[in-house]
Structure formats: structure tokens, C-alpha cells
Amino acid sequence: SAPGKGWEPKIMGQDKRQILRYDVLREVSRVRSPSMQSLATQSLEALKEAEATVAAAAAEAAAQAAAAAAAAAAPASALPASPASGLGTAELQTSGDGLLGGGLGSQLAL
């Protein structure tokens, strides 16, 4: 990985954890030395914990993305009603120099 970029999970297109699990640790576990057996066991346990942490972080990120998408896709009817909603149709009558002017007895439906 490039300096400052952080840990990259792949090397030459292959997943580093898969290489560790199926290639490196398999070879280490073949050595009959108790210290090598212990190293392989501890490494495998640490690998399982790391994979569980990555999986939990991915699940949390997916849940947050789904919640954000659901919030963005919420229909307008799900939004709170405006103060004027639910008042129905009202008529405003004016006469003379009223709101609509011109001395016409006009009506405006709200």
C-alpha cells in the first residue's frame, strides 16, 4: 500500500486475509513444533476477530446507507402537514376596495 493510504485488503488482486488463512497458516500449521502450532492457532483466532470486526462495520455502514436512502426516498405525504393543510376550502369575499380591488364582489378559493 502507498504511504499514508492506510491498509489495503488486497495485494496483486488477491485478498490478504485469504492468503494468510489458506496459504501461510496452512504451511505454519504443518510444522509439528508446539510453538508453531500455537502461533498458527493464535493467528487464526486473531484473523477471525478481524474478519468479524470488518463484517460488523460493513453491516453497520450498509444499515446507515439504507436508512439514508429510505429517508431520501420518503414521499412528500410522509412529511409533516403545513399549518394551512386540513382547513379545507375557504372563500374570501371582498367588496369595494377590498383585497381584489376594483369594486367587484370577487371570491377567492383558498
Q: What are 88's strand-pairing partners? A: none
Give the mean pLDDT of 45-70: 94
- CB 9, CB 17: distance < 8 Å: yes
Give the whole-angstrom CA distance, residue 95 versus residue 72: 46
Could you tell me the three cell numbers for 84? Answer: 394551512
- CB 92, CB 110: distance < 8 Å: yes
Which of helix, strand or coil describes residue 10?
strand
Residue for grid cell 377567492: 108
Question: Percent helix, strand and coil across the chain, each rounded to 5?
Answer: 50, 10, 40
- pLDDT tens sequence across 13-57: 999 999 999 999 999 989 989 999 999 999 999 999 999 999 999
Confidence of residue 7 (pLDDT cuts 50, 70, 90): confident
Residue 10 has a pLDDT of 94
- pLDDT tens sequence across 81-99: 555 555 444 444 444 554 4
Residue 65 has a pLDDT of 95
Residue 5 has a pLDDT of 80
What value, to the nearest 5°, has the Cα angle with vertex 35 and ends 32 and 41? 85
Could you tell me the three cell numbers for 76? Answer: 412528500
> pTM of the prediction?
0.56
